[in-house]
Amino acid sequence: MIRGFFTAMVLVALAYAASFVLFVSLLPMTPQSVPKADGIVVLTGGGTRLDRADDLFESGVGKRLLISGVDLATSKTTLKRLVHGGPRFDCCADVGYSAEDTRGNAQEAASWTRRHGFHRVILVTARYHMPRSLREFSTAMPDVTLVPYPVEQGRIDLSGWWRYPRTVFLLHREYVKYLATLVTTSMAQSAKSMS
């Protein structure tokens, strides 16, 4: 009986490890080109995300830009300076201060999308963060087409992630959050369909 329990635990651990490796191996790459969209939403958390989102925005890919999850102490002027924003930044970039986590980003973006009547939105965040972000965003705005635009995140090397303990820790933490998000969003969708 103990042997069977031990075998089952080993199999569960192996399945979990394999699913984690699969999660990392399926992280989306940065696309070579991006179709036009109504808007662009970028989640704060790294300068690379903001720079790439502003590059897309200034090149005319989207009509408006939402920077979601900005610290209350950071002004729009400061953000413009950080991303070297161009002339479109003043008129058509919006700063969202209400989000404190990914679910909050999704809710903030859903409100912004409804307010502007947008149907197609480019989502910019880190590669490792994209699966969870897409799940939260598609739950918050199921009628909006989301175009993922994952970016490399600073010094995080995903090409040889298993060689760097900090990267392994970061990816594992994100995987656990992703699994939790799968559960909570599935429950929310089930509750919505039953009502």
Q: Report pLDDT digits (tens) over 45-83.
A: 777 899 999 999 999 999 999 999 999 999 999 999 988
d(C-alpha 1, C-alpha 4), whole Å:
5
Domain boundaries, the chain: 27-194
User: How would residue 135 be classed by pLDDT, with cut points 50, 70 and 90?
Assistant: very high
Q: Measure the CA angle with vertex 19, ends 190 and 177; round to 5°.
A: 55
Its CATH class, for the domain covering 27-194, is alpha beta
Count of alpha carbons within 13 angstroms of residue 173, beta-carbon side: 6
> Helices 102-116 and 165-194, interaxial angle, to 10°?
50
pLDDT for position 154: 72
Instruction: Say how far apart CA 183 and CA 30 lie, in whole Å.
Output: 27
Q: Is the separation of the CB atoms in 94 and 67 below 8 Å?
A: yes
pLDDT exceeds 80 at position 195: no
Q: Which amino acid is at 131?
A: P
Secondary structure of residue 49 in the 3-state scheme:
helix
Secondary element (H or E) of residue 171: helix 165-194
pLDDT at 193 over 80: no
Q: Give the whole-angstrom CA distance, residue 137 versus residue 134.
A: 5
Q: What is the pLDDT of residue 1?
A: 67
Strand, coil or helix: 104? helix
**Lookup: tokens for 42:** 């970028």
